[in-house]
Every structure is written in structure tokens, then in C-alpha cells.
């Protein structure tokens, strides 16, 4: 139904009520004037106490899981409960081993499945290197991932991010204030845990996360190739059903504290094989797939997949993959160190089968020194050289981000029944007298100025904008912080504006200026590639969910560009300027958050 209206209105001829502002008595020179004089010229180049408007630290609460409708279980209880279960488990396992049936079972399934005759013996040096690189890179991936979570410390199962429907939170319940923002909800992480960890340092955390991810994936790809080229895969992939009874047998043996005799140099026990298999062949690929599942560009392009595998499902599963890795690391390290540490370290770090030599231990110790030094240095170095961190990471992940920007956004539409019952607010509300007066006058004196490198600059009243062909879309919003929501947006397609002003060939970027200032003063703005202005789902909205765009969501006019993250969708727009390049505007990074908080300008993932 909605789409039919949209079609009908889009096919209507351009209404001729559009006139330039000069007709309303404004001097023609104003029409050419750029709002860039209201921007802060400086780009941030360190993170210090005054950074991001001096956002004060705010700590969350202990992690909680929702049980039923509104009961919350504090996960710290898992510590005593886990200890209790361990003690009970040990007692039960010890008892079991007294039973003749269990003894027969363990004799039949001692815990190790035989390997094919062609399986390689021993661990070559490349596995040691890959193991170290994998561990080293994962430290930064996991820490920066925690900082990303801390920016919206809640998980949901559906794309609606409705308060009270979160299944996990590290933050208090959402307050009833209707204008509560997602930024206000963000939390600080204890020093040394997150990367960087300061409250709302998600811009830098994402550079770490995505940049190191690309190295981790490269390391993983090399690992997979070598695994299959050398036959080492046979040691990690279960090849018979007996892996299950053997795993149970190993479990009972471990729990009864009478451990199986292992020879990891030749063959892992079945529980190890299962754990390694899950980690290498399920968890690692799942980390990639669930990570990509959060991309606005890919979710818009592959809307059908995203309808089922929504950003929030992807985000929740991404977090559960993280939990698996944490659990794996804790158990793995504990067992490596308690089941013949010297031999185990010799296998992995010195590629030799010896339980007497200390070589493996010393190489391991050296690698730990490197890891801990990097761990300690990462946050302070990031605060001191944030632009370097950004540049290095952008060199790694930028090509993929730019590639995904060119996807077709058209499939990304939803239907009325998909509209979210709650849509988060975000950003800094406009506080200028100019905006307050306009709002008090119901925006009757509002004008949108569209100028820059165009043939026909215009200044349009809201009435004139409303007279342009109507465009409507039901689409999903992806905030960089992690929440999402679907809404119906009504207004004018950016293509209509482009046709009206006729950009000159030199115009390559389009800058949107807001009435609202950002936390570091200067008005909010964002620059976007001109190519995306022609996308079917790029529009200026003055309606939301069938009503006038509310104050909190950007009245009277806000941008929608559905291949991008939410921070690019400027609210309370007062001007649009076509420019050759954004480096001449503001701090030169392509947007307010880019100048001040190290966000990137191609944020398709
Ligand atoms: N002027 C202005 N526009 C802004 C912001 C802002 O701080 N100032 N925040 C952005 C961010 S981070 C998001 S996620 C969306 C949120 O839009 P909503 O409040 O309608 O959900 O607005 C974007 N537009
Ligand atoms: Mo956002």
C-alpha cells in the first residue's frame, strides 16, 4: 500500500513551487554562503581528559542475563555455582570410576581415536608461529571487541533493540526519559581491559578490531591452507563416531583427577580434538560470518538473509563466540600447564618431543613478555597516536569498507509490520536560539540551503520541500554503537534535490550541516560520496512512521542513507553543500565524529 503511494507521487511532475531563496527577500549572496564557518577547524589528534566533550567515566553493573519477562540473574553467581558443580562433578566422577561398567567403558574407549596411517607425527615450526600470532592478535581483537560492546552494553535477539527485551546487559535498566540517548548508555571499562577502553572510544576500538581482524583472518587463511597441504588436519578433524564415547571417557578421567596418559606429540585425546575442531572450524569462521552480519551495507543488500539473521542475532552470536574463546582459553591454558607443562610447551614452542628440555618453556616465556608488553602499551599508545592507529587500520580494512559501499541498497526495505516499537535516540540535541525559535514557530521560517558546486543553488522552505515528489521507505537503522531499529521514513529523495540543483562535474562529496552542535562545540556535519546520493534509499526525511518527524529524531529534516552507519545520518539539517573534497571542510576528516572521535568516512561495515 505504502509503496503504491510512493510510486504515484514519485511519478508526478516536479512541483513548480520551488523557487530560490532570493524570492523570499534574502540577499542572493546568502544563498552562496557555506555553513562551514560554523565548524571547528581542528581535527582531534590525541585522546586526553577533554576528549569527546570531556565525557565523564561511567561504570556499568555486573553482567546480568534476563530470566523470563523481567527477572535478571547476576552472572557473578556462576563463580560459586561453578565451583560447587566442579566439586560435585569430581565426587561423582570418582564414584563412577569405582563401577565395573565404567571401568569396562574406559578400557574400551581409553580416550583417543586412532589416526589414519598417513597422519603426520609431531608439530612443525609453522604451527608454533601460527599459534603465537593467533594468540597475539586475538588479545587485541577481544579487548577492542569489549570496548565496542561497552558502547551499547546490551544484547537482543531481534533487530528491535526494545528496552526490557535485552537478554543480557552490563548496564542498569534503561531509564524512562524519552530522550535518553544511546551515548548516555555507554560505559567505561576498567584500565587494561578494553582497547582503548575509555567511555565511548568505539571509533578507535573499531580501528583496532577491524584492522587486527584482517591480519587474524590472513593468519587463519594461511593456517587452513597449510593444515590441508601437510595433512595436519587429520589431527584436528574427528574421523569416526568413537570420538564421542572417547570424549566422555576423557571427561570422566579428567574429572576424577586420575588423568589419561596423553601423547600430544602424536595424537590428541578425543576431548582435545573436539575442542580444537570447534574452535578452528566452527568458532573462528562463525566470528567472521556474525561480524559481517552486523554490516549496514551487507544487511541492506541481502535483506532476505538479514530478516532472519538480523544484526542483533549476529551481534549476540558474535558475543557468544567470544565467550567460547574465553572459555576455551581458560581450560586450554589450565590443562596445558597441568598435564606435563614442559612437554606441552616443547611441542608447541620448540617443535620437539621432550619432557626434560626447558627450551620450549623459555621460548614461551619470551613470547609472553612480548605479548604482555604489547598489551600494556596498546591503550596509551592509542591515546597518544590515534590518527596513526586509524591510518594503519584503514590501510588494512579500508579497501573492503569502500568496496561494500557500492552495493545496491534497493533490496533493503521492510514492511509496516516490521516497524520497531521503540527507536533509540542518539547524539547531541540542538540548543541554539536559532533552532529554538524555528521550532517554536513550527518551522514556518525554516529554510534548507543547498549550494556549493551546483548550477542552481536553492533555499527551500519546508512547504516547498513538502511540495516535491514524496518518497517513502521502511528501512533499518544501524547505529555504530550496536543498536538497531526499523522505521518508516517519508520525505524527498536525495536524487530529487540533486536534479534540482544540478551539481557540477567537480562535485564529488555532499556535506550535510546541522543546527545542532556536537560535544566539542562547532556544528555537527557529515560528508558522503555523491554516488550514494543517487541510491534509491538515500533521502531527506520530514516524516517518521506516518507522522511529522519528531524533535528527537531530527525535526524538521534528517538524512537517511541506508548503506551507512547511523552517525552519518545528520539530524536537524539546515544546509547541504556539494564540494570537491571534504578535506577542505571542518577538521578535514569528512564529518564531526571523524574529526573528533576518529570515526571513518566509509563505514559500510
Ligand atoms: N546533528 C546530529 N545528527 C546526528 C547525531 C548527532 O549527534 N547530531 N547523531 C547521529 C547518530 S550517532 C545516530 S545513531 C543517529 C540517531 O538517530 P535517531 O536519534 O533518530 O535514532 O543520528 C545521527 N545524527
Ligand atoms: Mo550512532
Q: CA angle 423-429-433, nearest 5°?
A: 145
| Distance from residue 337's CA to the centre of ligand 2 (Å) | 44
For ligand 1, atom 23, the nearest C-alpha belongs to: 567
Find out whether the beta carbon of 523 lies less than 6 Å from any atom of ligand 1. Answer: no
pLDDT higher than threshold 90 for residue 502: yes
Question: 64-67 and 471-478 as β-strands: parallel, antiparallel, unpaired?
Answer: unpaired
What is the C-alpha to C-alpha distance for residues 319 and 224, in angstroms, rounded to an integer?
24
Q: Quick one: 292 and 364 in the same domain?
A: yes
CA of 594 to the centre of ligand 2 (A): 12
The four Cα atoms 517, 521, 524, 529 give a dihedral, to 10 degrees, of: 170
Q: Give residue 426 CA to ligand 1 midpoint distance, Å.
A: 5
What is the average pLDDT across 300-311?
96
512 within ligand 1 shell (Cβ under 6 A): no
Which structural domain range is residue 504 located in? 5-45+408-597
> What is the C-alpha separation between 135 and 123, in angstroms, rounded?
17
Res 39 pLDDT > 60: yes
Q: Give tens-digit pLDDT for 157-170.
A: 999 999 999 999 99
* Whole-angstrom distance, CA of residue 121 vs CA of residue 267: 8
Residue 565 lies in a domain: yes
Query: What residues are neighbours of ligand 2 (ion), with CB under 5 Å?
Result: 426, 479-480, 566-567
Q: Which pLDDT score, from 0 to 100, does residue 23 have?
A: 43
Number of domains in the chain: 2
Can you tell me which atom of ligand 1 is nearest the CA of 483?
14
The verdict on the CB of residue 570 being under 6 Å from ligand 1 is: yes
Residue with CA nearest ligand 1 atom 12: 567
| Pocket flag, ligand 1, residue 423 (CB < 6 Å) | yes
Among residues 327, 336, 333, 279, which one has the least CA distance to residue 78? 327
8 pLDDT more than 70: no
Q: What is the pTM of this model?
A: 0.94
Out of 426, 478, 513, 545, mutate this one to test ligand 1's pocket (max ligand atoms within 8 Å of CB): namely 426
Q: Tell me the best of 427, 518, 544, 558 to mutate to test the pocket of ligand 1, counting ligand atoms within 8 Å of each CB and taking the most.
A: 427
Decide if 57 is inside a domain. Answer: no
Query: In this predicted structure, what is the pLDDT of residue 15?
Result: 40
Q: How many angstroms separate the CA atoms of 509 and 525, rounded? A: 13
Pocket of ligand 1 contains residue 427 by CB under 6 Å: yes
Judge contact between 293 and 306, C-beta under 8 A. Answer: yes
Cβ atoms of 523 and 427 within 8 Å: the answer is no
pLDDT at res. 262 = 81
Q: Is the pLDDT of residue 594 over 90?
A: yes
| Of the candidates 517, 302, 512, 520, the residue with the CA atom closest to the CA atom of residue 412 | 302
**213 and 362, same domain (yes or no):** yes
Rg, C-alpha atoms of the chain: 28
Q: Flag whether 367 is in a domain.
A: yes
Q: Does the beta carbon of 425 lie inside 6 Å of ligand 1?
A: yes
**Please, what is the average pLDDT of the chain?**
94
Q: In this predicted structure, what is the pLDDT of residue 13?
A: 39
Q: State whether the beta carbon of 296 lies less than 6 angstroms from ligand 1.
A: no
Asked if pLDDT for residue 385 goes beyond 70, the answer is yes
Q: How confident is the model at residue 261 (pLDDT cuts 50, 70, 90)?
A: confident
CA–centroid distance, residue 568 to ligand 2 (Å): 8
Q: Is the residue at 181 inside a domain?
A: no
How many angstroms separate the alpha carbon of residue 528 from the centre of ligand 1?
15
pLDDT digits (tens, 9 = 90+) for 524-579: 999 999 999 999 999 999 999 999 999 999 999 999 999 999 999 999 999 999 99
**Given pLDDT bands bounded at 50, 70 and 90, which one contains residue 2?**
very low
* Residues 357 and 450 placed together within one structural domain of the fold: no
Q: For residue 568, is it within any domain?
A: yes
Q: How confident is the model at residue 26 (pLDDT cuts 50, 70, 90)?
A: low
Do 530 and 571 have their domain in common?
yes
Q: Report the distance separating Cα 581 and Cα 601, nearest Å.
A: 12
What is residue 56's predicted lDDT score, i.e. its pLDDT?
94
Is 261 in the same domain as 371?
Answer: yes
Quick check: 22 pLDDT over 80?
no
- Are 89 and 225 within one domain? yes
Same domain, 40 and 120: no
Domain-embedded: residue 390: no
CA-nearest residue, atom 7 of ligand 1: 427
Whether residue 126 is contained in a domain is answered as yes
For 194-226, the pLDDT digits (tens) are: 999 999 999 999 999 999 999 999 999 999 999
Does ligand 1 come within 6 angstroms of the Cβ of 428? Answer: yes
Q: Could you tell me the distance, in angstroms and rounded to a whole number, from the CA of residue 309 to the centre of ligand 2?
A: 21
For 323-341, what is the mean pLDDT? 96
CA of 565 to the centre of ligand 2 (A): 7
Q: Enumerate residues 6+ apart whose C-beta is below 8 A from 66.
A: 72, 73, 166, 167, 168, 169
Find out whether 514 and 490 touch, Cβ atoms under 8 Å: no
- The residue ranges of DSSP E strands in 425-522, in sequence order, are 447-452, 458-461, 471-478, 484-493, 509-517
Residue nearest (by alpha carbon) to ligand 1 atom 6 = 427
Q: In the 8-state DSSP scheme, what is residue 278?
A: I
Cell matching residue 432: 541554539
C-alpha cell of residue 269: 585425546
Q: Which ligand sits closest to the CA of 561?
A: 1
Residues of the chain with pLDDT > 90, as a percent, come to 92
As given in the structure block, the three cell numbers for residue 146 are: 569489549
DSSP state of 550: P
CA–centroid distance, 424 to ligand 1, in Å, is: 10
| Shared-domain flag, residues 448 and 586 | yes
- Looking at residue 27, its pLDDT comes to 64
Distance separating alpha carbons of residues 573 and 512, to the nearest angstrom: 7
pLDDT for 398-445, tens place per residue? 999 999 999 989 999 999 999 999 999 999 999 999 999 999 999 999
Q: Write the pLDDT tens digit of every residue in 188-198.
A: 999 999 999 99
Q: Is 424 in the pocket of ligand 1 (CB under 6 A)?
A: yes
Centre of ligand 1 from the C-alpha of residue 429, in Å: 9
Q: Are 83 and 202 part of one and the same domain?
A: yes
Helix axes 78-96, 243-255, angle to 10 degrees: 100
The best mutation among 161, 186, 567 to test binding of ligand 1, ranked by most ligand atoms within 8 Å of the C-beta, falls on 567
Indicate if 493 and 366 belong to the same structural domain.
Answer: no
Query: How much of the chain, in percent, has pLDDT values that exceed 70?
Result: 96
* CATH code (residue 412): 3.90.420.10
- For 189, the grid coordinates are 571499562
Beta-bridge partners for 527: 511
Ligand 1: nearest atom to the Cα of 514: 1
Does residue 529 line the site of ligand 1, with CB under 6 A? no
Q: Is 202 exposed, middle or buried (0-12, 13-18, 19+ CB in 10 A)?
A: buried
Ligand with an atom nearest the CA of residue 569: 1
Q: Give yes or no: residues 476 and 330 share one domain.
A: no
Q: Cα 36 to chain center, whole Å?
A: 30
253 and 375 share one domain: yes
Let me know if residue 175 belongs to a domain. no
Dihedral pair phi/psi, residue 491, rounded to 5°:
170, -135
Amino acid at each position: 500500500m505504502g509503496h503504491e503511494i510512493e510510486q504515484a507521487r514519485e511519478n508526478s511532475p516536479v512541483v513548480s513551487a520551488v523557487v530560490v531563496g532570493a524570492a523570499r527577500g534574502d540577499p542572493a549572496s546568502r544563498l552562496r554562503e557555506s555553513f562551514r564557518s560554523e565548524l571547528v577547524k581542528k581535527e582531534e589528534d590525541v585522546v586526553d581528559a577533554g576528549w569527546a566533550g570531556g565525557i565523564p567515566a561511567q561504570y556499568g553493573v555486573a553482567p546480568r542475563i534476563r530470566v523470563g519477562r523481567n527477572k535478571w540473574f547476576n552472572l557473578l553467581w556462576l563463580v560459586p555455582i561453578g565451583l560447587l558443580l566442579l566439586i560435585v562433578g569430581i565426587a561423582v566422577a570418582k564414584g563412577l570410576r569405582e563401577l565395573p561398567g565404567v571401568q569396562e567403558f574406559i578400557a574400551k574407549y581409553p580416550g583417543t581415536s586412532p589416526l589414519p596411517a598417513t597422519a603426520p607425527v609431531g608439530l612443525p615450526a609453522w604451527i608454533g608461529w601460527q599459534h603465537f600470532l593467533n594468540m597475539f592478535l586475538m588479545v587485541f581483537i577481544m579487548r577492542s571487541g569489549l570496548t565496542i560492546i561497552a558502547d551499547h552494553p546490551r544484547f537482543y535477539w531481534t533487530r528491535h533493540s526494545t528496552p526490557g527485551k535485552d537478554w543480557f546487559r552490563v548496564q542498569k535498566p534503561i531509564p524512562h526519559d524519552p530522550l535518553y540517548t544511546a551515548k548516555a548508555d555507554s560505559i567505561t571499562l576498567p584500565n587494561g581491559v578494553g582497547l582503548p577502553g575509555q567511555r565511548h572510544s568505539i571509533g578507535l576500538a573499531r580501528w583496532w578490531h577491524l584492522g587486527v581482524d584482517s591480519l587474524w583472518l590472513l593468519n587463519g587463511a594461511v593456517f587452513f591452507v597449510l593444515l590441508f597441504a601437510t595433512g595436519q588436519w587429520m589431527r584436528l578433524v574427528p574421523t569416526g563416531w568413537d570420538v564421542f564415547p572417547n570424549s566422555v571417557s576423557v571427561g570422566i578421567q579428567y574429572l576424577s583427577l586420575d588423568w589419561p596418559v596423553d601423547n600430544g606429540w602424536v595424537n590428541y585425546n578425543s576431548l582435545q580434538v573436539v575442542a580444537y575442531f570447534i574452535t578452528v572450524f566452527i568458532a573462528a569462521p562463525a566470528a567472521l560470518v556474525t561480524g559481517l552480519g552486523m554490516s549496514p551495507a551487507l544487511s541492506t543488500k541481502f535483506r532476505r538473509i538479514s530478516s532472519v539473521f538480523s544484526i542483533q542475532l549476529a551481534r549476540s552470536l558474535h558475543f557468544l563466540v567470544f565467550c567460547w574463546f574465553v572459555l576455551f582459553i581458560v581450560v586450554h591454558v589450565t590443562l596445558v600447564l597441568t598435564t606435563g607443562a614442559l612437554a606441552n610447551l616443547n611441542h608447541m614452542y620448540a617443535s620437539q618431543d621432550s619432557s626434560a628440555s626447558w627450551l620450549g618453556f623459555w621460548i614461551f616465556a619470551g613470547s609472553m613478555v612480548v605479548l604482555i608488553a604489547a598489551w600494556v602499551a596498546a591503550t596509551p599508545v592509542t591515546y597518544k597516536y590515534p590518527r596513526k592507529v586509524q591510518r594503519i587500520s584503514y590501510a588494512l580494512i579500508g579497501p573492503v569498507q569502500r568496496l561494500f559501499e557500492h552495493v545496491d541498497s534497493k533490496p533493503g526495505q521492510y514492511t509496516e509490520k516490521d516497524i520497531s516499537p521503540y527507536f533509540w535516540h542518539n547524539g547531541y540535541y540542538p540548543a541554539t536560539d536559532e533552532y529554538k525559535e524555528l521550532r517554536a514557530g513550527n518551522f514556518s521560517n525554516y529554510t534548507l540551503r543547498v549550494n556549493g558546486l551546483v548550477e542552481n543553488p536553492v533555499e527551500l522552505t519546508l512547504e516547498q520541500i513538502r511540495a516535491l515528489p514524496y518518497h517513502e521507505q521502511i528501512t533499518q537503522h544501524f547505529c555504530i554503537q550496536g543498536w538497531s531499529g526499523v522505521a518508516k521514513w517519508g520525505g524527498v529523495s536525495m536524487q530529487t534535490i540533486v536534479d534540482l540543483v544540478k551539481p557540477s562535474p567537480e562535485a564529488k562529496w555532499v556535506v550535510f550541516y546541522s543546527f545542532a552542535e556536537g560535544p566539542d562545540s562547532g556544528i555537527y556535519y557529515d560528508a558522503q560520496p555523491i554516488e550514494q546520493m543517487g541510491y534509491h534509499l538515500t533521502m531527506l526525511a520530514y516524516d517518521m512512521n506516518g507522522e511529522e518527524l519528531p524533535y528527537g529524531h531530527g525535526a524538521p529534516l534528517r538524512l537517511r542513507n541506508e548503506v551507512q552507519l547511523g552517525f552519518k545520518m545528520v539530524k536537524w539539517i539546515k544546509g547541504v553543500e556539494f564540494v570537491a573534497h571534504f578535506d577542505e571542510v571542518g577538521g578535514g576528516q569528512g564529518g564531526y565524529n571523524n574529526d573528533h572521535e576518529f570515526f571513518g568516512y566509509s563505514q559500510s561495515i
